A = this chain, B = another copy of it.
Amino acid sequence: MPPNELYQFSVVSALMDGVASTGVPLRQVLAHGSHGLGTFRSMRGELIALDGECWQMRHDGSVRAADLTEGSPTEDFSPFAMVTDFAAEASTRAAISAKDGVEGVLARLAPNANNTHVAFRIDGAFKAITVRTAQGQCFPGEGLKDVASRQVTVTLPASRGTVVGFRSPQFLQGVAVAGVHMHYIDEGRTAGGHVLALESDGEVEVQVAELWRTVMDLPRGDAAFNAAPLALNDGGIKAVEG
């Protein structure tokens, strides 16, 4: 796809309803974009795609490169992911004292994108960055809210690395995560996860791009998706993806 178009597979409400047993080969997702986030089959761990490489950040604290080899016994599949070929349109250096501070920086860099997706990355040093990693479903169909109740949360002190994120508009809550949704991986590719809190160590580099076109594939042939209620659970999504 051209740069700065969003590709997404499935919707967040499907994860809320526990639709995570099938998905698509991750290599197919990454064919649409080199920068993004998502999850793995059975919601095992957190997915980050950065500069065309892709990792699974697991609840035991380990990080492994995703297996994109077709037909490999450990080939990775994703039941939900969002990616883009990120090309920064604006950037700034900013000190960020809390997660809310990211919103302010994005609003300054993309004032005309209130009602569309924004992709961003943040590179630099963090005094502290708190990440969670999902352990995965205990049984097929277990919803994200229950999966998240067993998530592992750690605070990484003095970490250098990259945040990959999207800010999505409120009217797409349930399709995506409304507001800021960020995953992090450190420079050594040894730690990371879904970002719950962060504090930069001095200024970090924030780069953004507005995404005005979305290509969305839904899970064709997935009986669990076809049977899912997919009712909007705004509070639930905020609780688990906030």
Interface majority SS on A: helix, strand, loop or mixed? loop
If A175-B171, A175-B175, A232-B171 touch, does A114 touch B227 (CB 8 Å cutoff)?
yes
If A212-B217, A217-B212, A218-B212 touch, does A171 touch B230 (CB 8 Å cutoff)?
yes
Q: Using a CB-CB cutoff of 8 Å, which residues 187-242 of chain A contact chain B?
A: 210, 212-218, 220-221, 223, 225-228, 230-232
**Is B115 in contact with A230, judged by CB distance below 8 angstroms?**
yes
- Which A positions have Cβ atoms within 8 angstroms of B? 11, 13, 112-116, 169-172, 174-175, 210, 212-218, 220-221, 223, 225-228, 230-232
Complex Cα gap A212–B175 (Å): 14
List of 3 A-B pairs having minimum Cβ-Cβ separation, nearest first: A171-B230, A212-B220, A116-B218
Complex Cα gap A230–B114 (Å): 11
Contacts of A114 in B (CB 8 A): 226-227
Chain B residue nearest to A8 (CB atoms) is: B214
The contact of A112 among B13, B214, B226, by CB within 8 Å, is: B226
